[in-house]
Amino acid sequence: MVDASEQYLFQGYSLPVYKTGVLIIGSGAASLSCAIHLHRMGCSKMLIVTDNRNGGTSRNTGSDKQTYYRQSDASHVPDSPYAMVESYIRGGATHGDIAFVEAQNSLRAFYNLVSLGMDFPHNRYGGYTGYKTDHDPSSRGISLGPYTSREMVRVLSAEVQRNGTPFWDQCDVVRLLTDENDQMVGAVILDKTKLYEENHGLSVILADHVVLGTGGPAGFYASSVYPRVHVGSIGLAMEIGAEAANLTESQFGIASIKFRWNLSGSYQQVLPRYYSTDREGNNPEDFLSPYFSSWEALTNAVFLKGYQWPFDAAKISDEGSSLIDLLVYQETQVKGRRVFMDFRENLTGKSEWSDFSKTCVASSALGYLQTSGAWAETPYKRLQLLNQAAIDMYASNHIDLSKEPLEIDVCAQHNNGGLAADIWWESTNIAHLYPIGEVNGSHGVSRPGGSALNAGQVGALRAAIRIMGYGTPMRSSLQACKMQINDLI
């Protein structure tokens, strides 16, 4: 619920001023989940404001097997939050207590999604068995296929609609407002459907709590696999002096750039040809083989890239899989060339090596392809046998892998750093501001694949508990932030 507006004059412009208890910014998986928890806990005064109900990363992205990470409760091997937190903190740049809270609450968050209708694969006994994902020594990953986070947004949005939470679409938050004690008191929003009105669609929302679920800073990156519709708004919090953590820790990996899609899993396991050209597409060069000592080492590294998709500095030496990312980066960003993966042709070796054949392929890759019934002469045929859906994905985006190569780069996928917050996802220095989801800097250097989605769901729950714990004082006053609004206008 939102209180009816009153009009106030700011620099000669008449702006409506609304009041609510909790202002939730964004409509990604994290924000929607927070609204649902708040509603269940009895919060009646809240408002979701989003710049685009169809925007955001959760709704618009996917990958070969988009993963949700949670404590395993259906495997032969016993698991616990204590074991899980070890996986979280291994790579560094994590806060131990926060990682522990994410582990401890992961099952609650996961079963919330199940209860809202997410049909994760399970056995006949009701056990949600999982698989190993990146940086995961256990089997805590679970997936609905390429579009797990889109399905999350679908079920979460349906619940928000069912419970009648006010939802304002096409509204950009353009300024967060604080009082003299660095406490949140609200935000200024720009209604993009009212730009031509006298006040240009600006209004003020006073709120006791502000949940910021604006996602990763996608607009920062030149080479990116974030959906094009998503830009991010971490700057809103920076502008009011919110502390940040580990901002330099972004996650990168190989992705196609015409249609943005991670080239993980089967795309690498079928061992496509990698080559670069000049800007005009001439002078092709098979740039990988000079850096590998044998066919075995080269095919093993490309094959492993399927499992080890994110760039990881620890996997460069000894002809590791991240050497591939580094070599692609060298071609595109250092030499200014274009790089392609071509499924019509096999990898090319050094001149002194034999021609590519089955006997050249590392036993890891060959064993996998043969066991899967997917050995064939070309990467394209292998991909048809291994994962036809991977071909169809490109076909539905007007790219025929049997006829054209894929232009690729090492692309940003996730910011592991972000705003600093405590174990309740409340900002470390701006009271009543709750950065949740990707905008929160809790993610660490090499967290297991799928932990971003879990972090968003757990953060949403924790912020809701914290907000309800404060009670509903309705303390925000326009007086406290009038100057900031005048400055903006």
Ligand X SMILES: Cc1cc2nc3c(=O)[nH]c(=O)nc-3n(C[C@H](O)[C@H](O)[C@H](O)COP(=O)(O)OP(=O)(O)OC[C@H]3O[C@@H](n4cnc5c(N)ncnc54)[C@H](O)[C@@H]3O)c2cc1C
CA-only gyration radius of the chain, Å: 24
Say whether residue 188 binds ligand X (CB under 6 A). no
Say whether residue 321 binds ligand X (CB under 6 A). no
Of residues 246-285, which lie at the interface with ligand X (CB under 6 A)?
A: 262
Least spacing, CB of residue 150 vs ligand X, in Å? 9
Nearer to ligand X, 117 or 219 (CB): 219
Can you read off the two tokens belonging to residue 367? Answer: 């064993």
Say whether residue 140 binds ligand X (CB under 6 A). no
Of residues 227-246, which lie at the interface with ligand X (CB under 6 A)?
A: 230, 233
3-state secondary structure labels for all residues of 61-114: CCCCCCEEECCCCCCCCCCCHHHHHHHHHCCCCCCHHHHHHHHHCHHHHHHHHH
Of residues 42-61, which lie at the interface with ligand X (CB under 6 A)?
A: 49-52, 55-58, 61
Least spacing, CB of residue 378 vs ligand X, in Å? 27
Q: How many CA atoms does the CB half-sphere of 370 hold within 13 Å? A: 9
Nearer to ligand X, 189 or 401 (CB): 189
Can you read off the two tokens belonging to residue 222? Answer: 């030149």
Residue of 15, 22, 23, 29 interacting with ligand X (CB under 6 A): 29
Closest CA to 207 of 351, 49, 357: 49
Per-residue string for binding with ligand X, 403-432, x by CB under 6 A? ----------xx------------------
Say whether residue 446 binds ligand X (CB under 6 A). no
Say whether residue 165 binds ligand X (CB under 6 A). no
Neighbours of 347 (CB within 10 A): 22
End-to-end CA distance of the chain: 27
The span of 210-218, 274-282, 295-303, 354-362 binding ligand X (CB under 6 A) equals 210-218
Residue of 213, 405, 435, 441 interacting with ligand X (CB under 6 A): 213
What is the spatial distance between Cα 195 and Cα 202, in angstroms, rounded to a whole number?
8
Residue of 419, 420, 453, 461 interacting with ligand X (CB under 6 A): 453
CB 436 within 8 A of CB 425: yes
Strands (E), 148-267: 167-168, 171-178, 184-191, 202-212, 244-245, 250-256, 261-262
Nearer to ligand X, 66 or 322 (CB): 66
Say whether residue 442 binds ligand X (CB under 6 A). no
Least spacing, CB of residue 61 vs ligand X, in Å? 4
Helices (H), 116-257: 148-162, 234-239
CB 404 within 8 A of CB 391: no
List interacting residues with ligand X (CB under 6 A): 25-31, 49-52, 55-58, 61, 63, 66-67, 149, 172-173, 213-216, 225-226, 230, 233, 262, 413-414, 437-438, 449-453, 456
